[in-house]
Amino acid sequence: MNKLAAVVIASSLMLNAAPAKDQSVPADLLILNGSIHTMDKEHPTAEALAVIGNRIAAVGSSKELRELRGPKTRVIDAGGKLVLPGFNDAHVHFLMGGFSLANVDLRDAQSPEEMARRLGEYAKKLPKGRWILGGDWDHEKWPGAPLPTKEMIDAATPDHPVWVNRLDGHMALANTLALKLAGVTRETKDPPGGVIVRDAKTGEPTGVLKDGAESLVERAIPDKTFDEKHIAACAGTDFAARMGVTSVTDMSADGDVGLYQYMADHGELKTRIYAIRSIVSWEAFGRIGIRGAFGSDLLRIGGLKGFSDGSLGSTTALFFEPYADSPQTRGLLFDQMLPEGIMLTRVEGADKAGLQVMIHAIGDEANFRILEIYRETAEKNGPRDRRFRIEHAQHLRSSEIPRFGQQKVVASMQPYHCADDGRWCDKRIEPERSKGTYAFRSLLDSGAVLAFGSDWTVAPLNPLEGLKAAVTRQTLDGKHPGGWHPEQKITLDEAIHAFTVGSAYAEFAEKVKGTLTPGKLADLVMIDRDLYKIAPAEIDKAKVVMTVMDGRIVYETGNP
């Protein structure tokens, strides 16, 4: 028996399929003449790949794998195109992303006037009284970077309540009608962990609410129906397939697991989902004995998301020192951290129950506090493979960087934020403090596991844009062609590893996905050019031409 036949027989047995008498099983899908980077350190490259059922059957040379061609085999000549494991986005807001595909888009609006114009044009398409949501505006792109106000948009939206968020999700703008419906007035007090931005002269709300205050308006927004959510989720999974994303960790899936299960049962999911719920309600899992990463390869639960602070763009990320451009504040502790000690209690309880904990931390003090909570929890509950995660791990003091490796805390990061925030980060916290921002190189060198994602819709879902940001650290304004803090660049291979193997590890799934290894799930992506052979600055110009998830082609262009 040759080595190839042995691999195929092993794969068929794993699939509970009886091998043929001639000791070979025809492939369902055969990719030849590709530039395949498997992310498997034992066999890092190949030119051909075979799929049987929903598993990788073999990787090797085109000459070897042609033996697996049968009468029903789909054969694809890759023509030298790059083939990688399917991208695994470790941090998205999936349903929100699906809704964003149809919502008003304010991300690239260059002024408050353009923002108002777009809102007015969008409002004309909706029935009177329908809420206008989404937006993802970025005031840092506007001359002088002023925060928007309700007066800027009221005239354009007199008949529609408006609640449009900044792209980071940590503050949003309401028009006058939305504030009226929500009952937010001059007398409304700031809630714990939140700020109602007010006019300095009158004390009236300007329309912008930050972090914990956002709930004051959100509670007035009508709930989405199942059908509305279903349409959005279908749009989201279709879009993910076009981007080459075959797995996601959905950080805000609280009430949507039933929807995803419905889609899985009806063959509609083109994306594997690890569905995360709020750590505030961890006891719902703990009481019934669910543990981390419970479920099938397509849909799993058992992860918990918490928040420790806000965002840099909203000046609510928590730092040890004041903001350079807003010296009156060091940021905010998120309301989930209040009263003092409550987050430690939650993490200890959830961890003891076997659940996986992942906490948002942006500022250096927030990251320090969460590392301390993780250390105390591990010491109290004893050794186990817990894979604590810090989501974003954005701004770190040099003293905290080695702790990720020492404490085995996964750094779940979104490299596109580096290209975006790098335009204005130095003005907010000064260049010296920025040295520990998006510290990809230092974290890897410390022994930490990097798990890359996008934070969609905060940033684009396209992993190729994230790869470029990690490898070049060029900012979106073109002012750092050699890279912003270039000492923190990583290699293309390291960045792809973080988007595949690292993110699989971060969700306890590295044994079934993340590499193109015989026996693992057949999730892969084909890209129109070999990223390893082009200039790093050109990575984002590449296009996905085929995506395979669970052994089936879920997206392809006309000419793969």
- Worst-scoring range by mean pLDDT, 98-102, 296-300, 313-317? 98-102
Question: pLDDT tens digits, residue range 84-141?
Answer: 999 999 999 999 999 989 888 898 899 999 999 999 999 998 889 989 998 989 999 8
Do residues 204 and 119 both lie within one domain?
A: yes
Let me know if residue 76 belongs to a domain: yes
Let me know if residue 359 belongs to a domain: no
**Does the pLDDT at position 11 exceed 60?**
no
Let me know if residue 132 belongs to a domain: yes
Let me know if residue 462 belongs to a domain: no
Strand order in the sheet with 74-77: 55-60, 48-52, 29-32, 74-77
Chosen domain end from 218, 251, 268: 218
More confident residue, 8 or 358: 358
Question: pLDDT tens digits, residue range 455-482?
Answer: 999 999 999 999 999 999 999 999 999 9
Do residues 210 and 103 both lie within one domain?
A: yes
How many whole angstroms from its chain centre is CA 9?
37
Q: How confident is the model at residue 102, as a pLDDT?
A: 82
DSSP letter assigned to residue 333 = B
Chosen domain end from 181, 199, 218: 218
515, with CB counted inside 10 A (0-12, 13-18, 19+), is: buried
| SS3 of residue 559 by DSSP | coil
Do residues 210 and 143 both lie within one domain?
A: yes
CATH number, domain of 519, equals: 2.30.40.10
CATH number, domain of 182, equals: 3.10.310.70
Do residues 108 and 67 both lie within one domain?
A: no
Chosen domain end from 164, 188, 218: 218
Do residues 33 and 7 both lie within one domain?
A: yes
Let me know if residue 299 belongs to a domain: no
| SS3 of residue 236 by DSSP | helix
217 vs 162: CA distance, rounded Å: 10
Do residues 149 and 39 both lie within one domain?
A: no
Q: Which of 338, 331, 342 is nearest to 367 (CA)?
A: 331
Q: What is the dihedral of CA 257, 262, 267, 269, to 10 degrees?
A: -30
50 vs 419: CA distance, rounded Å: 37
Let me know if residue 42 belongs to a domain: yes
| Close Cβ partners of 362 (under 8 Å, ≥ 6 residues apart) | 309, 310, 311, 312, 317, 318, 392, 394, 395
**Does the pLDDT at position 24 exceed 90?**
no
Do residues 111 and 155 both lie within one domain?
A: yes
Let me know if residue 457 belongs to a domain: no
Do residues 104 and 213 both lie within one domain?
A: yes
Q: What is the dihedral of CA 209, 214, 220, 225, to 10 degrees?
A: 130
**Does the pLDDT at position 324 exceed 50?**
yes
Do residues 121 and 211 both lie within one domain?
A: yes
Q: Are 504 and 514 in contact (CB under 8 A)?
A: yes
Domain span at residue 527 reads 1-86+515-560
Q: How confident is the model at residue 169, as a pLDDT?
A: 86
Confidence band, pLDDT 50/70/90 cuts, at residue 560: low
Do residues 10 and 47 both lie within one domain?
A: yes
Do residues 214 and 137 both lie within one domain?
A: yes
Do residues 104 and 159 both lie within one domain?
A: yes
Q: Are 260 and 240 in contact (CB under 8 A)?
A: no
Let me know if residue 369 belongs to a domain: no
How many whole angstroms from its chain centre is CA 257?
17
**Does the pLDDT at position 14 exceed 90?**
no
**Domains of the chain: total:** 2
Q: What is the mean pLDDT of residues 46-68?
A: 97
